[in-house]
Structure 1
Amino acid sequence: MRQAVGDPELTAAQREMLAGRRGDGAALAMRVIVRLARALGADRLIPVDSAHVDGCLFHGQVGIDLVERLIAGGARVAVPTTLNVGSLDLLHPGVVRGDAAERADARRLMDGYVALGAEPTWTCAPYQLRERPAYGRHVAWAESNAIVFANSVLGARTDRYGDFADICAAVTGSAPYVGLHRDENRAGQVLFDCSRVPAGAFASDVAWAALGHLVGRRSGTRVPVLTGLPGDADEDRLKAFGAAAASAGGVALFHAVGLTPEAPDVATAFGGRAAERRHEVTAADLLAARDELTTAPDGRLDAISVGTPHFSVAEFRALAGLVADGPPFDEDIEFWISTSRAVLAEAERNGDAAACRRAGARILVDTCTYIAPVLRTSARVVMTNSAKWAWYAPTNLGIDVVFASLPECVLSARAGRVVRDPGLWRVS
């Protein structure tokens, strides 16, 4: 097959796949990748070590049509492939509401991805799984928080992949050599100096999420570099930051000096270039971010949702510690934990899941409360410690949100109303 003008240079194996010698399904996937590369101006394709597919949510017949056409054409994933959340909790049938036909279509789509050889992980946080991409390795990951975590915290390389491109990259084992796969696009562009924030502020999970929201809003899709952060931040705090920055502004890579692998110092993070913009972050800025993510006044509370991105083993342990002493949750408050089945299995083994259930929490896997009809229909005000959840839920669910820390979520669940820690957001 002749290479068309503007097409990327292909290897012999890639040309064979495009010509249909590896089956009709693989040929379809390669056509999508080649046309994506052409649209993005890529001169070649690169092999990827793994893929993470975000197209598992049922949004209509087109998703099923693509997956089943790939299956009919004999396609199989060529690299280890994990699956993002779907529209159902397959371990807890009946938790997600919906009519029978829509539930059947959602299950059909999820089953289709498994038939292509993908792992039924059903998580938005594939970086919590045992097998993770190594530093500097190229992957084709979709889902905004997974993308930013892989690029920033793991130091792997993925561009922004969305529905259909993700599964086609998995089938072909190839991706266009553009965007954040390339060295020159990974240098920092905007500086955020956090040294003016009081040292103790970042001991709270919610401060990292608020900072991510602020940075996302000010960065857009540019690459932010952060200085002045405590050097002991764990992956859950970096997860909360990245998810918020990706949701509020489209950040796909950040550099936290002294914390992330491509930022041992400021000069390295910026690739020797000067910052396009500089911002000084204060505690008042974080308070303003909290308020922007809160749409309800203090008072009424109907439900609490944590785990967006999915709750980790460490977060289960933290919540179990918070609920170990004291009364159970108010019976009128729904308290939902969204997590992956892999993390839940570990939390079941170590007893943390049982401790959370005894307090009154309910656990959801395979999906998330802001994309599936899980919360009771009467819920109007919901508290969350996730900036991502707070950003999307008002539009997705038509509810009001209170953005708060995990300890505040526990206090509020027990009280049956919004309870704030006045010392948490002290601005001086």
Structure 2
Amino acid sequence: MLSLSAEEQAVLAGTTGTTGDRMAMEIVVEAATMLGAQSLVPVISSHIDGCLYHGDSGALFCEELARRDARVKVPTSTNVGALNLLNPNQTRLPPAQRKMALRLMTAHQRMGCASSWTCAPYQAGMRPQPGDQVAWGESNAVAFVNTVLGARSNRYGDFLDIACAVSARAPNYGLHLGENRRASLLIDLSGLARPLLQEDAFFPVLGAMIGRLAGEAIAVVDGLLPGATDDQLKALCAGAASTGSVALVHLAGITPEAPDAETALGGLPPQEIIPVDQAMVLAARNSLSLAKPGPIDCVALGSPHFSNAECRRFLQLAEGQPFRVPVYICLGRHTLAQLQTDGADDALRALGVTLVVDTCVVVTPILPATPGVMMTNSAKFAHYASGNTGYAPVFGTLPDCVASARTGHVVWDAGLWG
């Protein structure tokens, strides 16, 4: 039986707040009832996944909330939309869909959401503290906020995400509750060589492996080296959340509530132990490529959005040499602003790189309409590219991607993988 506070009951009854507040509270309460939650939990931030145009209903829903004077009550960032608002013609949407996509993004702005338009809000200033209750959408962002930052969120999807932001409440179930965050599966990396564990490209591959091994279970990964970067952990979380329903994976020594594997397991023996060996890593890497080595048609990077550090690493690797195929880098406005401080954005464009802001090439039509082969260092791009764009993905390291863009065909450094 769902129990509501006096404040929540007043909003639900319409005796306080706007009609938009009431509408949002009704949605959250109905969701909590269906999920079997016994109460609502106050949240301190939200990240809205429902900014991407999938049909007119999403835009009309958000416009109705805004018309009823609904306003977010907590800091709220926006995920990617279907348009690059700085260059709307970059997306090949029909006029009617373009109009509705803009209306959807504008409705979120009217409700007080920040115009971040990024799938990596944690790299744009949204970094809740361990134990904070939040209502985040977007699979990689949810995995990161739980796994790396130690805040608590379930995977909130369209409609419910904005309702949580407006009501500052979420159904108190799932990963909001400590007892549901205990790991039951142990993934042991102790058999892998140290150089591999340090490589950037290992992290998206490990993430893809975790997603397939864990599914909906909560795993703890033991054996990662200390000092992993935000970008490496971002890639891991994105891979895990793409290939499985992963919203939390404990990384022993990294996840705030998992100083070691034993703590993540709650002092209980794991239901299963999976030792990871070199062959498993190679199989996971190979599973991210649907095309055979050969000519490529483009390189796509930035899912989740590329960071300032990743863009500058790309520039270093490029060494000013031209590319034979189009290169797309998807990034947030916060990263673009950092690049603009010293002209790094212009340096990227001078190489022929197309910068995609506010959106990404796998969720809206930006790539050339005739599909071909896409090379990427993103497990998430690799997982979704074929179904969303028709392009067959080839996975490689960032140096592989740069070298392949120069030659126009797949270049792999096989030695990295042993």
**TM bin (shorter chain):** over 0.9
The superposition leaves residues 365-415 of structure 1 with CA deviations (integer Å, 9 ceiling, x where unpaired) of: 111110111111134100010001100110111121101110000000011
AA in 1 matched with 2:316: G
Identify the residue that residue 77 of structure 1 maps to in structure 2. 72
The superposition leaves residues 258-309 of structure 1 with CA deviations (integer Å, 9 ceiling, x where unpaired) of: 1221111111111112211111111221111111110001011000000000
Match of 1:355 among 339, 343, 347: 347
AA in 1 matched with 2:79: N
Pairwise CA distance, 1:23:
2.0
Identify the residue that residue 130 of structure 1 maps to in structure 2. 125
Identify the residue that residue 3 of structure 1 maps to in structure 2. none
TM-score normalised to structure 2 length: 0.98
The superposition leaves residues 30-51 of structure 1 with CA deviations (integer Å, 9 ceiling, x where unpaired) of: 1110011111111111110011
Match of 2:257 among 226, 244, 262: 262
Pairwise CA distance, 1:256:
1.1
> Does structure 2 conserve the Cα–Cα contact (< 8 Å) formed by 1:303 and 1:379?
no
State the alpha-carbon separation in 2 of the partners of residues 312 and 326 from structure 1.
Answer: 20
TM-score normalised to structure 1 length: 0.95
State the alpha-carbon separation in 1 of the partners of residues 76 and 22 from structure 2.
Answer: 19
Identify the residue that residue 328 of structure 1 maps to in structure 2. 322
Identify the residue that residue 274 of structure 1 maps to in structure 2. 269
Match of 2:299 among 296, 300, 304: 304
State the alpha-carbon separation in 1 of the partners of residues 199 and 328 from structure 2.
Answer: 20
Pairwise CA distance, 1:419:
0.7
The correspondence of residues 47-126 of structure 1 with structure 2, limited to 5 A, is: 47-126=42-121
State the alpha-carbon separation in 1 of the partners of residues 320 and 163 from structure 2.
Answer: 51
State the alpha-carbon separation in 2 of the partners of residues 72 and 39 from structure 1.
Answer: 27
- Report SS of the residue matched to 1:192: strand
Identify the residue that residue 31 of structure 1 maps to in structure 2. 26
State the alpha-carbon separation in 2 of the partners of residues 125 and 131 from structure 1.
Answer: 9
State the alpha-carbon separation in 2 of the partners of residues 257 and 191 from structure 1.
Answer: 10
State the alpha-carbon separation in 1 of the partners of residues 285 and 356 from structure 2.
Answer: 26
The superposition leaves residues 71-126 of structure 1 with CA deviations (integer Å, 9 ceiling, x where unpaired) of: 12111111111110000001122111121111011001100110011111101111
Runs of 5+ consecutive residues of structure 2 not aligned to the other structure: none
> Does structure 2 conserve the Cα–Cα contact (< 8 Å) formed by 1:186 and 1:223?
yes
Give % identity. Answer: 46
- Report SS of the residue matched to 2:329: strand
Match of 2:11 among 12, 17, 32: 17
CA RMSD of aligned residues (A): 1.1
Runs of 5+ consecutive residues of structure 1 not aligned to the other structure: 1-5
State the alpha-carbon separation in 2 of the partners of residues 303 and 283 from structure 1.
Answer: 29
**After the TM superposition, which of the residue ranges 16-25 and 144-153 deviates more from structure 2?**
16-25
> Does structure 1 conserve the Cα–Cα contact (< 8 Å) formed by 2:250 and 2:258?
yes
Identify the residue that residue 161 of structure 1 maps to in structure 2. 156
- Report SS of the residue matched to 2:129: coil
Identify the residue that residue 376 of structure 2 maps to in structure 1. 384
Match of 2:191 among 192, 196, 200: 196
State the alpha-carbon separation in 1 of the partners of residues 377 and 333 from structure 2.
Answer: 21
The superposition leaves residues 163-202 of structure 1 with CA deviations (integer Å, 9 ceiling, x where unpaired) of: 1110000010001111101110111111111111111113
- Report SS of the residue matched to 1:263: coil
**After the TM superposition, which of the residue ranges 31-40 and 356-365 deviates more from structure 2?**
356-365
Aligned residue-pair number: 417
Pairwise CA distance, 1:326:
5.4
The correspondence of residues 395-406 of structure 1 with structure 2, limited to 5 A, is: 395-406=387-398
Runs (4+) of structure 1 exceeding 4 A deviation are none
Does 2:40 match 1:45?
yes
Does 2:400 match 1:408?
yes
- Report SS of the residue matched to 2:414: coil
